[in-house]
Amino acid sequence: MKISKIEFENFRNFMEHGEIRCSTDGKVTIIYGKNGDGKTTLHQLFQWIFYGQVHFNKTTTDRLYNLQYESERSFGDTFQVMGGIDFEHDNAKYSLRRTYTYRKGLADSEKIAEDFSLNKMDEDFNWRRMDRPKEIIEKLLPSGLSDYFFFDGESMIADLRVKGKDSAGKLRKALYSMFDLDVLEAAINHVGETKLKTTVLGKLYLSKGTISSGSQIAAIKTNIEGAQTRLERLGRDLESEQKRKAECQNVLVSVSEQIGGFKSKADYERQRKTLKAQRDVFLKNATDAQAHFGDQISEMFPQLLISKAVQDAKQKIHLRIEKNRLPSGISKKLIAYLTDSTTTHCICGNPLCDAERQHISAYLDMMPPRSYTSLYQDFSKTAKMWGRGYDKSGIEDSIMTVLANNEQAEKCDEQIHELDEAEKKSPDIEDLIVARQKAEQEISELDTHIGEIGTNQRKLEIYLKKQMRDFDDATEENKATEKVNRKIRIMEEVAAYFRKKLDDESVSYSHRLEENIQSLIDSMLTSRRKVTVSPEFAVRVTDSFNDESKSEGQFAVVSFAYIGGILKMLRSEKHLASKEYPLVLDGPFSKLDPDQRQNVVNMIPEFAPQVILFSKDDLHEVFSEENIGRVWTIVSNDEKNIARIEEGHLWN
Amino acid sequence: MNESEIISKMIGFIEEKERQLQVNKLSVDQSRNDVVKAILDELERVTSDENQ
């Protein structure tokens, strides 16, 4: 998939209709925007159009309209928010549109309708509306990988750490879809087992009861179906309880971390005191340097003044010498010879007349006397001496010291302000302890319940096995049941084939993915890291101590290597080559140091067929000119509530 | 048609069916019932072909 155009109207701060055309020739599309201009808004627009989901400031919101636009509507008016993406996939053109319709209320506007459509251009260049657009998009661009396709450098790190297992499950599903393993998984689920009544094998098994008659058989069959239904229900209960437990464990970890890093009032006060002391030292240094600067100036005042006067005089004399420049080759001796009354001819051979002699003698007035020349040379020496007569670098050092110390003092003030804000927002320790106790208690209750479900499942399975044995004994061996048993045997062979194929392909794909990620990690990180990918596509990146990466920069690089490894692999596998995905990156380099950033930039063209990049920093020095495609800039008003998009890099 | 031929025929049929399903996704319950029924019908067809 390659995105050729994205358009929008009345989406958050983008009130007017606008569109961004993207490069589809492998070059990077760059969208520049300063802080608060709306880069993340546009980045979220992609996810809203594709999946109908937006997350602003970690919260999901339905109010996507421009607030100023909405304030100008009258009560009862309806208005729309629109987003559209045109893309190419497998040599076909598609156009995707999502629209929310709102009605203006007294206090707020309410969403009253939603439309989501996907059109495909047919061979006659006519657009044809497609059924089930959501499912088609899910297949073309699996939502399980959306955190990677739509990479947000700022929030990605925190989000992925919190999501943990949940995220791993989504990723596995997305990769199964990418590598077509979902087909095998679905086949295994549909063929099923004899004890699962809604599957092929389950239905075949129970059909034996229809062939053989008798009240005993009918009773056993009813028992089996009842047990199967209860087992299915228990399975669903177990799944939801385990999910709830995972949520509680996440809360517990988060609260425990907050308690571990909790700062009391005294801690804040202590930190504030340290910062204030540091600031005062910087301010004192600045004052001292200022005083030193004053001393230097007053001490050197005469030299500075004389030096300035001498420099000015030197300039004037120099100008005068320049102005009275004589023609080259004229000397006093030559003038004396030519103006002598006995000389009748010039050195060029022409005869000399009185008028010419007069003209030549005028040059004498322009020749400085010998004493003047030596005076000028003496003056030049003195001027040079006075010019160097004061300690220029000493004075400059004093000025730099004052500026540097003032800057450091300002930084301390900023940190003190941040500390004040953090203290205002910090939760109460008692609330945290109560939350932790509550989470621990809930986990304990869930554990008990999960244990009970497990016990019930085991009892039911024993009961089901016994009923199935009785059923086998009661369904007499005749020609009809023999035929069903043969079908069961055939389908069990089929199921075994799919299970083996899924195992083999999972191992093979995970192994190749591991190699691809490892090669990218080796290129991006200077320190050695080992990548392991399980057949379930869970990825671990560890150092020589078998610890997982901790720093945000490394975490970001690992995320790049992960999506890079997947995309690189899709490009290298012939039967998967049609599966290509765009990368839409918002502030992707914010956590990387300059070396890591350059390494990532160098690797991106190797794996991504299309890159759309949002940045507040100039990237024209990071990317080489031939790799930069279309460039756009977000232009926002001072209040940062109305923005528009313009082509070109407008800050140049 | 012997048993191993029937097995490979069923494998081919199911793979094709599941692939179609992935392209034209239906709701999960609907697709499950349809696919299970289609597989059982095909199994019935290939095993009764053999008897004739």
Q: Which residues contact A95 (CB under 8 A, 6 or more apart)?
A: A84, A85, A86, A118, A119, A120, A121, A127
Per-residue confidence at A521, pLDDT binned at 50, 70, 90? confident
A495 Cβ partners below 8 Å, 6+ apart?
A188, A191, A192, A193, A201
B21 → chain A, closest CA residue: A183
Residues 120-149 of A with CB under 8 A from B: 132, 135-136, 138-139
Nearest-CA distance A545 → chain B (Å): 43
Q: Percent of chain A at pLDDT above 90? A: 12
Mean pLDDT of the region A90-102: 88
Quote the pLDDT of residue A557.
Answer: 78
pLDDT of residue A311: 63
Q: What is the pLDDT of residues A306-336, one digit of tens each?
A: 666 766 676 665 555 544 546 667 677 788 8
What would the two tokens of residue A413 be?
A: 């003030």
Burial-class residue A352 by CB neighbours within 10 Å (0-12, 13-18, 19+). Answer: middle
Higher pLDDT, A465 or A383: A465
Searching chain A, which residue's CA lies closest to the CA of residue B51? A483
Q: Could you tell me the two tokens for A256?
A: 């425990």
Measured between CA atoms, the residue of chain A closest to residue B11 is: A494
Asked if A31 and A634 touch (Cβ cutoff 8 Å), the reply is: yes
Closest-CA residue of chain B to A200: B36
State which of A303-307, A421-425, A458-462, A478-482 shows the largest mean pLDDT.
A458-462
CA dist A76 and A70 (Å) reads 11
| Contact of A23 with A629, CB cutoff 8 Å | yes
Q: Are A529 and A540 in contact (CB under 8 A)?
A: no
Domain that holds residue B29: 18-52
Partners of residue B6 in chain A, C-beta under 8 Å: 490
B33: which chain A residues are within 8 Å (Cβ-Cβ)? 198
State which amino acid sits at residue A315. Q
Residue B3 included in any domain? no
Count of domains for chain B: 1
Chain B residues within 8 A of A578 when measuring between CB atoms: none
Is the pLDDT score of A373 beyond 50? Answer: yes
Say how far apart CA A638 and CA A227 lie, in whole Å. 67
pLDDT of A165 strictly over 50: no
3-state secondary structure of A350: coil
Q: Which helix (H) or strand (E) holds A584?
A: strand A582-586
Chain B residue nearest residue A501, CA to CA: B11
Residue A540 has pLDDT above 90, yes or no: no
What tokens appear for A215 in the block? 């009240």
User: Is the minimum CB–CB distance between A183 and chain B shorter than 8 Å?
Assistant: yes
Taking an 8 Å cut-off on Cβ atoms, the answer to whether A490 and B39 are in contact is: no
Interatomic CA distance for residues A308 and A331, integer angstroms: 35
Residue A588's Cβ-count burial label (10 Å; 0-12, 13-18, 19+) is buried
pLDDT of residue A322: 45
Q: Of A154-168, A557-571, B21-35, which range is least confident?
A: A154-168
A and B: number of Cβ contacts within 8 A:
66
> Does any CB of chain B come closer than 8 Å to the CB of residue A484?
no
Higher pLDDT: B1 or A294? It is A294
Rounded to a whole number of angstroms, the distance from the CA of B51 to the nearest CA of chain A is 11
Choose the weakest-confidence range: A116-120, A560-564, B11-15: A560-564
**What pLDDT digit, counting tens, does each position of B31-50 carry?**
667 889 899 999 988 887 65
Least CB–CB distance from A487: residue in B18, B21, B47: B47
Query: If you average pLDDT over residues A621-633, what whole number do you get?
Result: 84
pLDDT at position A425 over 80: no
The predicted structure's pLDDT at residue A504: 93
Least confident of A96-110, A279-293, A409-423, A568-582: A568-582
In this complex, is the C-beta atom of A193 within 8 Å of any C-beta atom belonging to chain B?
Answer: no
Q: How confident is the model over A285-296, as a mean pLDDT?
A: 83
B contacts of A491 (beta carbons < 8 Å): 10, 43
> Under an 8 Å CB criterion, which residues of B touch A?
3, 6-7, 10-11, 14-15, 18-19, 21-25, 32-33, 35-36, 39-40, 43, 47
Mean residue pLDDT across chain A: 79
pLDDT at A86 over 90: yes
Q: Average pLDDT for residues A92-110, to the nearest whole number?
A: 86
Q: Which of B5, B9, B29, B36 to mutate to test the interface with A (most CBs of A within 10 A)?
A: B36
Is the pLDDT reported for residue A156 higher than 60?
no
- B contacts of A204 (beta carbons < 8 Å): 40
Contact A511, A488 (CB under 8 A): no
Query: What are the domain boundaries of chain A?
Result: 185-248+439-498, 268-425
Q: Do B22 and A139 touch (CB under 8 A)?
A: yes
Q: Which of B13, B15, B18 to mutate to test the interface with A (most CBs of A within 10 A)?
A: B18
Query: Per the CB < 8 Å rule, is A486 touching B19?
Result: no
